[in-house]
Amino acid sequence: MNRTDLALPLRAGLLLLTLTGLAYALVTRQPVYWLPILLIAVGQVWELMRYLNRQNRELTDFLDALRYQDFSSNLSTVHAPASVRQARQLLNQINQTFSELTREKEAQHLYLQNVLALVNTGILSYRDDDLAVGWMNESLKRLLQVPYVNTLEGFRRRNPALHAQLLALRPGESKVFKVGAQAVLLSATAFTDETGRWRLVAFQPMSEALEANEALAYQKILRVLNHEIMNSIAPIASLAETLHKRLHTEPATVDELRTGIGVIRTRSEGLLQFSQTYRNLSKFSTASLQPVRVIDLIESVLTLFEPTLAQRDIDPDVIVPDMDMVVLADPVLIEQVLINLLTNALDALRDQAAPTLAITALHNDEHRPLVSIADNGPGIPDELIDEIFVPFFTTKPHGSGIGLSLSRQIMQLHRGSIQLQSTVGKGSTFSLLFSTS
């Protein structure tokens, strides 16, 4: 056992022994013994108190340094008794952990400051209760042409209108404000830390925001047009190639040529009309509705896909109990929706050993026209069903994520909807629900 391990028990033992001798001297009434024993007892008590006070003072100084984030001190464990050594080691470990966390926090803070200093967007943070400014990056200082302000009140003297706008701006809001001749988009958010509730305001020049949004919008429009044009051109080219081969291999009847050329002409005109309509998004917000026989829409699209279906050895099952069933629709736009759905169905059937495709048109329980396209493909997982209609979301390696979102938009123009039922391993059914008026 270490000598320091005996320090506290030895002092306590000596004190107990001294007190026992004092008690014996008092009981036997021998004053010649109890007086020196009393002095020894007082000395032992004093030494024990001094020892405990030294231990407490060391612990107090350590905790005080920890409170003020001074992690340089440590409790000595070399001469500490075994009874307190483990506690001191644990406190030293806590001190080291706090030191590491503080260093990480300072590094993250420095990193964030450097990032905010480099961005072109102006950043301002201020506390809600006293309006004290916590941060202004260099972009904001250049934009406002101010070196720094300590509180939000500093803006009142330089720009009263901006001061009023900042106070009125609520978290989650975005407003346009002019700083000199430059329009700026102000966006606010809020967060809370140990010092209180803070507001974070971003100052983004409108020219940069508009250029970025404009470029993104152009990219999306080009992707939409490319998707829809390719979806229509592919079956047109396939049908034209089939007719061309028929002319060179075996004589084609006039009716076959007339039908094929008629479909190519109709779909080409529809594609031109679609492209012209999509060029102006405001025009795309309306549809030219007219009564159309459902069977005519289905036959037109199936004729377009006839070469592909024959090549894939797929014989679609068309179920239309009422051949005179009519929907109020824009035939060009609805044909585009059917083309998108058939294209997706054929993609789903690509690896099926026995592919089946069914097209059904009937009235639902509310007597609303319902046109469905079903396949026995791999199906769509439940977690993706709500996402496949999101623009530009796709599960295909080379897909654009346009067709289904555009199809939903077209059905909304018809005061209808597009619905999906799918089971993994069994297939999917897309249904077009039309309005009755």
Q: Give the position of tokens 């309509």.
A: 277
Please tell me the distance from the alpha carbon of residue 185 to that of residue 163, in angstroms, as a whole number: 15
| Residue 195 to residue 237: CA distance in whole angstroms | 68
Q: How many CA atoms lie within 13 A of 165 on its CB side?
A: 20
| Residue among 348, 264, 266, 361 nearest 314 (CA) | 348
Return per-residue pLDDT of the chain as tens, 437 residues: 444 444 555 555 555 555 565 555 555 555 545 455 555 555 556 665 666 666 677 667 767 776 666 666 676 666 666 666 677 677 777 777 777 777 776 666 665 666 556 567 788 889 888 888 887 888 888 888 888 788 888 888 888 888 888 888 888 888 878 777 677 888 888 888 778 888 888 888 765 554 455 455 556 655 666 666 666 677 777 777 777 677 666 665 666 667 777 777 776 776 766 665 555 434 445 678 899 999 999 999 998 898 889 999 999 999 999 999 999 999 989 998 999 899 999 999 988 889 999 999 999 988 999 999 999 999 988 878 777 776 655 666 555 566 787 888 888 888 899 999 999 999 999 999 998 87
H, E, C per residue of 290-335: EEEEHHHHHHHHHHHHHHHHHHCCCCCEEECCCCCCEEEECHHHHH
Encoded tokens for 433: 């629900």
| Helices 331-348, 403-413: inter-axial angle, 10-degree rounding | 150
Query: Do residues 186 and 197 lie in contact, with contact meaning Cβ atoms separated by under 8 Å?
Result: no
pTM of the shown model: 0.41
Q: Are strands 196-205 and 317-319 parallel, antiparallel or unpaired?
A: unpaired
